Structure 1
């Protein structure tokens, strides 16, 4: 029967092995934390660095721990198996980090990679134990071996979960300590599972001939080399952190420059919507001190007429955690008032809770003043057009009256010239002249009527209401059914069109004009097909399309068709050329746009994009509109 050898540990080397484990864990966690934010190329560099740090550090901890193990017999290590244990540690760790990085650190990925790393660490440990060469036998307790493997898997899974979670230095130190102690615990649990027996009597006596100091020096060499490698890894991490900091500073400077370029002021509020801390942009804008703008003190710089609506809209935005869009007037440091557009978004932390609000005030005073001037100018033009067209009617009525007088005179003149050799020619010339006069008068009458119509429409106040666009457009199609049947055309309206809030009469005028034009300019050589459809445009717009297979419009006329009194193509249909101009004016008054897509001989599509929601077709007054959050 072989005697059992009583074993022990060198306390100094045990402490050194645990220190190696903790330091390696911290380095690996720090490197692994950079994998998620890296580009595809650098990402794999960080994966390799993390694998070398974790795998190499754990292997060095294992080797130093083995040197700390006092077995009472001379021990050597098989070089091939020792290097294989290092390869297993680095490869398993690298595959685990790569898997988690490729799956964006999803919990399911950690549950796969954690056991992979744990089994790799356990494989490294027991391969390293197999490299041990002693004059005796080495046996294991299966239960304790299972416990050591479980510790390795649990520790590796926890390490990967912590490595890919956003955390600070304190949390990373705690995680490294837990991971390092867990890895050391796995190692020494695995060592506790081993039992060493001598193969011959007197073998333990060989311990006296051993050179413990040599083993200690070897352990120090391994530890020193490992610490140096880990130090280089930490140095690389530190240099990368400095690069990230420089990029962050450059990005922040670029962002601030962009804000200044658009005449904006950047500010931040806490999660509850209160202004705290230093706000140099706001202070420079309003002249308020920190004590004055703290909390909700910033509202004192908002125009009294806008303050209540602003605070209400802001509180509602904070409550609903949505994007803040608003406009109000702000008192400048010199006491003047400026008009600002505000946009603020919530910044969330890792748990999804609001950490702070970041907002920008953009000066739109000149824009609002220009819009007011444009509205005033348009109203003046409309008034002028009304007056001019009204005044033109008076002399036109006189011309029409005298034309009737000339018709009567023509009869008398014909009787007076009876028998004259030139009577027939004079009567024909007289009749032709009267015809030209009447045609010109009728043309003038239609143009004046068109101008008056546009003028009246420009002054009409819109009455917005919720509109079922499917029913409205189908009603227009039904009203044009006789015209469509005469042209051998089919008009289809897409079902379930989105509802909008708009002025019913204006919308009927827009799409009635477009449908009338589509029917009027169909190609007689083929049955007409007209479709009315809609699609969403962004989060706030709806594009309604009227598509036909008619004559089409030449590319050079695409922009001209919207001009007043301008018509394109063959002039074989009645009209004054005001329909599309009227449509464009109505669409623009809603804050929308109209575009044409057409090809000669193929057909035409008019796209009318209108805003969705309560602002649709609400006419702006010349006075500032009430301010409200969007």
Structure 2
């Protein structure tokens, strides 16, 4: 018996909120990576780690906020705590590998393809580990070609995000890139959900183990959301990102050096020797004006 799936039980509230969180994580990640690429490597690992954690948390919160609106009409849904936490760890870890790769090796084609492929597959793994955490009176089944399409979207999205991190500098450009990345990550999620079907096991009802969707997901989302807000404060108040643009060429705070008036060179020879003739036209204002008699 096939279950009746409703992925939008709260209308457009959950998908739009999920999209906003994906954009927020992408924007913070891009700005942190931009900050790490400035000259001076003392804080580079910290900024890359903050960027990876921001992007990973953004992807994870997007997934599980969208899953709050997911239900199967014939059975209750619960979540396994361990697999849910594991999906968060996987999201941060795989994004971190890609971010550190481009942060230290640059945005070369080979680096982007390898890091983007690994990160995209990892993001897809995060999605399906999160789905494996679902506990219901039935089994989840997937359409393999659509699953492959979702993985391809994740790889393309991850590669584009890593490219944007090293190629885009301006704030408005980073903002636009984060909006596009939000579309890509959300598209990957909904493509994966389109591959899903539920085969029910006889009687309706739900499992007794695991936490209910609201009882588990809402408290677990508090931590990553707070982390993203704190990361946003750190990025907003970083002097190098506020005073200068991403390419490090900001002009705020610079002062023009005052004009220097050049005096004629001093004569250091003997007092009995005549000083050498010099062209004083650059130093003297000229002869005084003649008076009319």
Instruction: Sort the TM-score into its range (normalised by shorter chain).
Output: 0.7 to 0.9
CA distance 1:243–1:70, shift in 2 (3 Å): closer
Q: Give the greater-gyration-radius structure (CA).
A: 1
The equivalent of 1:56 in structure 2 is: 57
Cα offset for 1:130?
A: 1.8
2:80 equivalent among 78, 81, 91 = 78
The equivalent of 1:230 in structure 2 is: 228
Give unpaired runs (5+ residues) of structure 2.
269-273, 282-293
The equivalent of 2:145 in structure 1 is: 143
SS of the counterpart of 2:141?
strand
2:239 equivalent among 222, 232, 241 = 241
Cα offset for 1:48?
A: 1.0
1:366 equivalent among 264, 269, 282 = 264
* Whole-angstrom CA distance in 2 between matches of 1:36 and 1:153: 23
1:176 equivalent among 171, 175, 178 = 178
The equivalent of 2:4 in structure 1 is: 6
Q: How does 1:279-318 map to 2 (within 5 A)?
A: none
How high is the TM-score relative to the length of structure 1? 0.39
The equivalent of 2:35 in structure 1 is: 34
CA contact (8 A) 1:60 1:222 kept: no
* Whole-angstrom CA distance in 2 between matches of 1:23 and 1:218: 23
Say whether 1:252 aligns with 2:250.
no
Name the stretch that deviates more: 11-20 or 222-231. 222-231
CA contact (8 A) 1:13 1:219 kept: no
2:158 equivalent among 137, 156, 159 = 156
CA contact (8 A) 1:36 1:104 kept: no
CA contact (8 A) 2:55 2:95 kept: yes
CA distance 1:140–1:167, shift in 2 (3 Å): same
CA contact (8 A) 1:89 1:120 kept: yes
Larger RCO of the pair (alpha carbons < 8 Å, separation 6+) = 2
The equivalent of 2:169 in structure 1 is: 167
CA contact (8 A) 1:17 1:64 kept: yes
CA distance 1:624–1:161, shift in 2 (3 Å): farther
SS of the counterpart of 1:40?
coil
Q: How does 1:534-553 map to 2 (within 5 A)?
A: none
Cα offset for 1:218?
A: 5.1
Cα offset for 1:101?
A: 0.7
SS of the counterpart of 1:252?
coil
Task: Report the aligned-residue RMSD.
Answer: 3.2
What are the superposed Cα offsets for residues 165-217 of structure 1, whole Å, 9 maximum, x if unpaired? 243332222111110111011011111112110111x32xx37x99xxx7456
CA distance 1:189–1:243, shift in 2 (3 Å): closer
CA distance 1:83–1:38, shift in 2 (3 Å): farther
What are the superposed Cα offsets for residues 443-466 of structure 1, whole Å, 9 maximum, x if unpaired? xxxxxxxxxxxxxxxxxxxxxxxx
Number of residue pairs the alignment of both structures matches:
266
What are the superposed Cα offsets for residues 379-399 of structure 1, whole Å, 9 maximum, x if unpaired? 8xxxxxxxxxxxxxxxxxxxx
CA distance 1:135–1:98, shift in 2 (3 Å): same
Cα offset for 1:365?
A: 4.3
SS of the counterpart of 2:197?
strand
* Whole-angstrom CA distance in 2 between matches of 1:142 and 1:199: 22
Cα offset for 1:159?
A: 1.1
CA distance 1:83–1:217, shift in 2 (3 Å): closer
CA distance 1:38–1:5, shift in 2 (3 Å): farther
CA contact (8 A) 1:67 1:216 kept: yes
How high is the TM-score relative to the length of structure 2? 0.79
* Whole-angstrom CA distance in 1 between matches of 2:133 and 2:217: 16
CA distance 1:252–1:13, shift in 2 (3 Å): same
SS of the counterpart of 1:137?
strand
* Whole-angstrom CA distance in 1 between matches of 2:190 and 2:170: 30
The equivalent of 2:119 in structure 1 is: 117
CA contact (8 A) 2:87 2:129 kept: yes
- Between Structure 1 and Structure 2, the one with more strand by share is 1
CA distance 1:146–1:252, shift in 2 (3 Å): same
Cα offset for 1:252?
A: 2.7
Cα offset for 1:160?
A: 1.4
Cα offset for 1:241?
A: 3.2
Cα offset for 1:42?
A: 0.9
* Whole-angstrom CA distance in 1 between matches of 2:267 and 2:155: 69
Cα offset for 1:80?
A: 2.1
* Whole-angstrom CA distance in 2 between matches of 1:169 and 1:60: 24
The equivalent of 1:415 in structure 2 is: none
